[in-house]
Amino acid sequence: MLLQGKTAIITGSSRGIGRQIAISMAEAGANVVINYRSGTEAAEEVKSLLEAKGLTNVLLFQGSVDDKEAMEAMAKATVERFGGIDILVNNAGILLPKFLMMTKPDEWDQSLNVNLTGVYNCIKASLRPMIERKCGRIVNVSSVASLSGIPGQAAYATTKAGLNGLTRVLSKELAGFGITVNALAPGFIETDMTAIFNEKKTKEYYDMIPLKKFGKPEDIANMAVFLASDQGQYITGQIIAIDGGLSV
Ligand code: NAP
């Protein structure tokens, strides 16, 4: 099993892409920490699903990634329960789709707080156990919006482009500690986030994608597992588009 005995924190893993990453990592042998902001029922459903498969090394942790103290408490609880942190997947993110002219200051701040400061909080809280072992994997979930300008996603694209910058810098700062840092840049993936698009908008997006369909959470989770495993050990500082060709 690719991640046997490893411990992974996956932020925002009660639903969507994060949920599938948590499931795939658990199936690959990892102890998983399922973080979420408010959807306790959904998080418990993921835990029950894993337990039904005999995968019992699951810790639920409620806390918003933009809450520094909560993220420190999550890292502490993870080390107490599983003895360390090997993998951090910074998946939690929000999309408030608006043209810049319509974006209110608090919406701008909220996007930055969750999508960027949240990542800073989680990395800062989780780094020490990785540095001590001289080994670790950080996988940031960015977006195709960071690579190509999608109208109506100004704040979101800004945060994801920032995340790409952080990924590249950190890959160099942490390479000496045996820690790799990469970002996944999903295109349109079938989750609650894309369920907000009406039929007309969805059709417009299909037309823009060379493979003519949205991706599935599994398409992202497969790459996250690969990068987190020994098979991904020589890949760092990369922004990997998984988008049906959208960004080409
Ligand atoms: P989603 O279906 O909306 O699920 C979001 C998950 O993140 C939920 O588990 C949610 O938990 C959690 N979350 C939200 N805010 C949080 C916070 N402040 N702290 C902790 N957890 C929080 O989203 P998704 O589509 O799976 O997207 C996951 C990631 O992929 C995001 O970073 C997104 O930007 C990126 N992405 C998605 C797509 C796409 O097409 N879906 C494309 C490109 C990139 P609660 O329910 O408890 O709030």
Per DSSP, the three-state class of 150 is coil
Q: Does pLDDT of 70 surpass 90?
A: yes
Ligand 1 binding pocket includes 93 (Cβ within 6 Å) = yes
Q: Give the Å distances, CA to CA, from 175 to 15, 167, 232.
A: 31, 12, 14
Q: Does pLDDT of 188 surpass 90?
A: yes
Give the integer Cα–Cα distance in Å for 132 and 179: 11
Q: What angle do CA 78, 189, 9 make, to 5 degrees?
A: 5
Query: What pLDDT score does 13 carry?
Result: 98
- What is the residue whose two structure tokens read 């933009």? 66
Expressed in angstroms and rounded, the spacing between residue 85 Cα and the centre of ligand 1 is: 22
Q: Which of 36, 142, 188 to mutate to test the pocket of ligand 1 (most atoms within 8 A of CB)?
A: 36
Give the integer Cα–Cα distance in Å for 235 and 227: 7
Superfamily of domain 7-236, CATH level 4: NAD(P)-binding Rossmann-like Domain (3.40.50.720)
First to last CA, the chain: 33
pTM above 0.95, yes or no: yes
Listed by start position, the domains of the chain span: 7-236
Closest ligand 1 atom to 142 CA: 44
Phi/psi at 102 (nearest 5 deg)?
-95, -5
Q: Read off the pLDDT of residues 168-187 as tens digits, 9 standing for 90 and up.
A: 999 999 999 999 999 999 99
Expressed in angstroms and rounded, the spacing between residue 30 Cα and the centre of ligand 1 is: 21
Q: Which of 11, 17, 74 to mutate to test the pocket of ligand 1 (most atoms within 8 A of CB)?
A: 17
